[in-house]
Structure 1
Amino acid sequence: MSENPVAGRVVLIAGATSASGLAAARALAEAGARVVAVGRDEDRLAELAQAVPGIRVEVADLTDEAAVHALHDRVGAVDGVLHLVGGWRGGGGLAGQSEADYRFLELSFTALRVVSREFDADLRAAGRARLAIVSSTAVDKPLAGGANYAAVKAASEAWTRAVAQGFAKAARDAGAPLTAAATVFRVKSLEGLEAELAARFTALWAEDAASVNGTIIPL
């Protein structure tokens, strides 16, 4: 295995215009990855590109299949995806869980489904590929005031584990070793953990795929 398994890898950061996106872009770029930072806000992406020279930024609506397909055409095959599309709305107990808030939160799950489907074949074909999402401890301990949020995170975890099972099945069917892995990072809050998330995601490439595929990693 290469001393630096991240060097030269094309890694897409979905929802990159956050503190976590900045930390991840910086860590991956410093490790030698070819970073593609994707978001909807052109101005914030420009700021990110200035903060981390050498990365590529792309404006795209990751909930739109046609837009993500066009993004794929522009950037080509990828070796990694870090899904940071998210947000928080909640409070007010169960009665306060509005449909509007749920639909807003659901966008992150929609983006995960669209992006992972579009780039699935790339990740399976790559010599070493990693996909990761950021989930929440609320999945195990949901509160009435955060029911919408916990439900979306639980669905996202289930989808990611399904991606992991697809990676494993494809390898078994081909009689080949598993080289792709899908992982869930769980946090109570990302505030203050941005650098740790970036480092742990980057470090996934140094781990054996079978040891991290389908796993939940607490931060």
Structure 2
Amino acid sequence: MYKLYYQPGWSSMAPHFLLAEMGVEFQLKLVDVEAKEHKSPDFLKLNPTGRIPVLTDDSLALFESAAICLYVCDKEPKTHMMPEVGTVERAKCYQWLAYLNSTVQTEMDMLFYPNNHTTDATSAPAIAERQEQRLMAMFEILDNELAQQNYLQQNYLVGDKMTVCDCFLLMLVMWGHEEFKVSPLTMPNLSRFFKNIIQKQSVQAVCEVEQLDLNDYVV
């Protein structure tokens, strides 16, 4: 059985959303970060980077949110959280998953932890300010991708059904709403995407477990 090591509101959100939407059986293991459990010898055996999340499946221990999501999608193809192999939609799914994970999320790290990216502490506020500008431009790209096409509303990032990409986008939009001076949810298509996807029982169930009040994201 899958076991997801998680911390509410952290990068484990994307695989948590994914597993819940798939409807597969899985367990959750809360990692006590205040007690530095993620730096303990036992946890470091699962993930030598000491970061959350980790997914275990029998003898496998896997870290990095994107890797976890791709692994589960490969193991559960009947859930259709990735489009069919060889299709244009599959290629687009790879593209947006890479963009969300390796570009947007990485840039967010510089906003959230600017002191980690400079040896001059006085420059940290300027780094954070510039990062928010860069990130808003990235969210504008995502907002444009969700714009109405061929007179049809784009409720999801790839195709007309929820995919693994939407799990990542939902997580990042929620982070942006919490941390940015101007929420990405002020953008019309991202707002529509968010209002649509939070109607899903799987999303509501994850937010209940992680004690995230969806009313806090109303703009």
Query: TM-score category by the smaller chain?
Result: 0.3 to 0.5
| Pair member with larger Rg | 2
Name the structure with the higher strand share. 1
TM-score, length basis structure 1: 0.37
TM-score, length basis structure 2: 0.37
